Each structure stands twice: as structure tokens, then as C-alpha cells.
Structure 1
């Protein structure tokens, strides 16, 4: 599940999805601080105080609980991290020669592809997620670090404690064949990287560093939540996901936002074959409305992709070595209040994006 696999709203909402692509389990800042102060062997790296969010769009947080504000402060820090700097060539070579090493679809992930696949288990991809922590699976000690291993039918995950709540690795192979024996040497080779302060995205040669990659996915609430005293924001969110009810007593005010990247080829296809799905916004920004939604609907569910800058320099990837794809910033918006309202929210977001 990586590369050109596109994650849907249900993947982000289903906290039991395997492998975990949407949810994240947050290790509280207090827990991490205590572990560091007591010198526990599983404390990897130091902990700096949370950096402030963009003051221009963070005013909505003052109405939220202190716990939720701390959660968002942690997400602010994770968005600054270069996920690809947490993988090294030594780890990649424990499996074999890679065909791709670089960013995934989501900004807090990095991927390694092996094409053709490796060995009898047909190992074809490793990816990591920053800020995702498994607190349930059994522990295995790896060079003095407790690593939680989750075994699956055609995959394995390994979660390592980290200053930012955890780093989780996944190895994909043939369906029905466990891959944990091959993943652990990969993880072991990366552990020295986790002992240093987390490398920053803005210094990366691999990770995507666009405006959206550095933007709070809940930034739109700085406008939408005004005069909304019953705002409810979902806790334990991934750093690039935001879900909220503008009125906790009105289900039609529910919205879900996912900051990610998608291809211009997808947009070109919609323009060619389903031009009615593409709605112009401000300047080079457009929205692509799902074929299951209606642009004129004022009630019911609506799903749309917002391309805030179709003119941005794309990140070109050629994962299958047959046809390069051009990846650009996209926000997935899901609502229960119709597409007319979703498009109004999209216009607010584009203004905030352009102001950065």
C-alpha cells in the first residue's frame, strides 16, 4: 500500500485498518518526558519544547482543550520532520537493491520500492510513518530498544519509540506470507538515525517541502470556526488530517480534511472524460468533485479533491519504470452538508494557502 495507492476517507476514519495508513496513536508528551528524565533505554533522542503553530491560522486552538492543543503542537513538530532521513542505505540493502527511495503519497511517510520484488516472499515495499506508535503489540528488544512487532498475513509492522511519539515501519510481500524476519534487520540498521534530533524537512533532499507539507490541516478553522461556540475537533489525528464538527449537535456540519499529494494525470483524465467534475476556484486552483457527488447539492455527503496550485512544480515519480507521474499538493475534503458548502470551504482554504 504505497506509491500510487490512493487512501480514501474510510482508510483515515477506520482506526483498525491494516496496515495503519490513517490513524496514529499518540504517546503523550508527559510520558516521553518522564522516560527521558529517568534514563529508560527505550527513550530515543531528546525532546524539545513544542514549537508554536503558525499564529496567523492557529487562533482557533484557544477554544480547544489543553490536551488537544498539546496533540496539535506535536503534529506541528512532526510536519517539520524529514521522514526519508530516518532510512539509510544500510537498511535498504538488508533487503536488496531498491528501485525507488523517496517520498510517498503522504507527507509524513517515506517509501522504498523493490522492483522486481525480492526473494521467495516477493518483498516489494518498505514504508515508514512518523508519529505513528503501536502501544499494543508484543515487544522485541532490538539493540536495547523495545520494538513492537505486529504480524500480518502479507506484511509486518515494527513500531519504535521516538521523541515525536514513534516511528513505524512496514514491509510488504506476498499475500499470506509473514515478513517480520526480513523487517527487523532493516529496523536495526536505522536505529542510530533515531538517536539524533529529527532532521528537518526544509533541509531534505528527498522529502516534499511544499506549502501544503508545512500547513496545519485544520488551518481552515481559523475562518470557519468563527462564531461557532459548539466546535468539536476529533483528537488523536495524524499530522496531515483534520476532522471536526462546526456544531457538535449538527451532523451536517461534519468535515474531514486530508493534506496529501495526487497526480496531475488524474486531474487531466477528469478534464478529458468527466469535465463536469472539475470546478475552477481562484487562479490556478481547481476542485475535482467525486463522481458520486453533485456540485449543486446543498445536503448529503460530498467528496472532492482540491488542487490549490495546478501550476506548482510537480514531484515526478516513475515507480513502475514505465510512465512518470507528476505529483502535486491536494486536499481531500469530505462533508455531510453538500458540495455547495464544501466548495465554499475549499475557497477559504485556497485563500489561506495562497497567503503562505
Structure 2
């Protein structure tokens, strides 16, 4: 991202300031700008209430107005604008019992999770840093804002966020923050597994996943998560290019194809992991033509990466895909006939036999025993299927 998004955000800030309100860029955009890494979202916080913000801009959308957030569209790039707020008690360890709008930026920043996320920009050169976030960035430290145990008692998911930032940024967790994580680890049981999975989606593809898994074990957080976490040493040196590959690796290390379903992964994610398990099994010998045909390129990419890491092999996805590309057909629609011809040639009604005959045809064409030509297929069919 995007100079365009930053420019749009500062135009929003200028307009709010001109109208008499305080306004700043907040959160990860500030942290990542100071780190010199790509910024993905630029959010604005303001002393204006949502209703007041709407009077400043012509094009707005309510996207979380109960929490003080609206989307401003006037500047070309959509910018989220949220009113400064404080949060009440967290009776369920997940979400605040109430949210109160305030006009003081310091109160808003005080409720945030970590010092490196509690900075703000009033302009491109005016940094608001009330809790030592810049010092902690320089020291490569993840430190809770204020009293760490209080932050984690409010929302236990923050402990997993600490793990994620440690792995993503290759930062150490500050000692008091680390101690509070150990003390409050059991509070993870209050967190919806879907929220936990969203953090793991980023942990398993982070730059330092081994650091994350070691931290999960050392703090006791792993005790309250699905999985045994007995093979974390295998994470050393492994860097998944995407979360799906990370989940497949995690599942394979656990030898649990159902692991991602226990984290409430989608059906698509569960199928992917299952297919990677199948591909890994075939890589122990050599993939059959049918296995090459059935499994997608992305599955083979993940499987070869995992196999080479765990077994110290030297499979290349290029070789596998070249063999796959040399198959007589690449999809079922490439077959010279369909079930329609089988019905006509047999004079029979459809039934289980038809599915079996089509499977035999597909396997035969793929392994080269049946030529993918209508005349040859008919000859094979009339020899093999007599009614």
C-alpha cells in the first residue's frame, strides 16, 4: 500500500481538524510505517462522534457505528474513521460490556493492547507516542500498554496477538507481559475458536513460526488450544507462503487431518488439508497418474514443500507438474465420450454401473491402457461391459 491510502487518510484528518476536531492515523499503519514495512490498512481515529463526522463528509457508510466506526469515501480511497473511545469491563474476557466515546486521544490510546500499536500520527511527521512504542520498536519488544495482566484479563485473545507479533516481527515479549501471559493462559477457554483461528491464520504463515509455537508452549497457552504441540521443533526453518500451507504443515506434524476442523476451518480449508495428506502419502513412493490428475497444483506445491522439510527430500513441484501436464487429459471434460454414449451403447438405464464404468474409463485413459478416442473407447466398453 499505498501512498494513495495515506494521502486519503491525511485529507480526512485535515478536514476533521478544519472542522474543529482532533484526528490521527492510528494502529498498525503507524507501527509498520516506523518499521519501514508495507502498510495494508490506514485507519483514522477522531474526537468527532460518528454523527459529527458525517456532517464533515458527503459520502459515508455505517460499518460499525455502535462502536463508533464509519467509512468515509470522499477521498477516493475508503478510510475507516472511528471515534476515540474507552471500554468498560470485560465480564466475558472477550468484549467490553460497554463502549464510551471520548474526546481525549490519550484515553483512546490507553485502551490498546501493545505499546507498538498505541501510537498515532497527526501528520506525516507528528508522532504521538505516550507509552514508549518507538523505544520498544527499536528494542524489538512486544510490551502491553499499562498493566499487562489487566489487558489480558480484558480480552484473552491479546495473548495470542502477542505471540503473533513476536513471530511476525521477530520481537521478544517483554518480561512482565510474558509473565502475565503465563498467569492468564487459562482465560483462552473463554475465546471463540473462530477468533483463535484468525490469529493462527497469521501465526502459521509468519516469518518466525517456530518462535510462535515455542512461545505458545512456554507460556502454557498451548494447553488450552487444539493440538498436542509435541513436534514444534519441526517448525524451525519452515516458512509457509500462505496460511493454507501453514495449516497443512501444522496438521501433518500433529498427524491429525481433522485438526483444522477443530479450529473451525472452512470446508475448503479442510479439503485442502486432506488433499495435502493424500499427496504426501503418494510422495513416499511416486504419484500415480490418477493421483496427479485428482490433486491441484497448489496442493502439490504445499506437499512438496512439507515433504522436503520433514523428510529432507528434494522433490520439485516443477517435475511433478510437468508429469501432470503430460497426462493424456487434464480434466474429465477432455474424455472423448460421456455417460450419454455409454447409455446409448448399452441400451441400459443409468445406475451405479454407469459411475463405475466412467471411473474405469478415466483410470484407463490416464494410465494409457485406453486410448482417448471414441472408437477405441466403444470397443473397450463393449468388451468389458456385457449386459
TM category, shorter: under 0.3
* TM-score (norm. length: structure 1): 0.23
More strand by share: 1
Superposition TM-score, scaled by structure 2 size: 0.21
Structure possessing the higher relative contact order (Cα contacts under 8 Å, 6 or more residues apart): 1
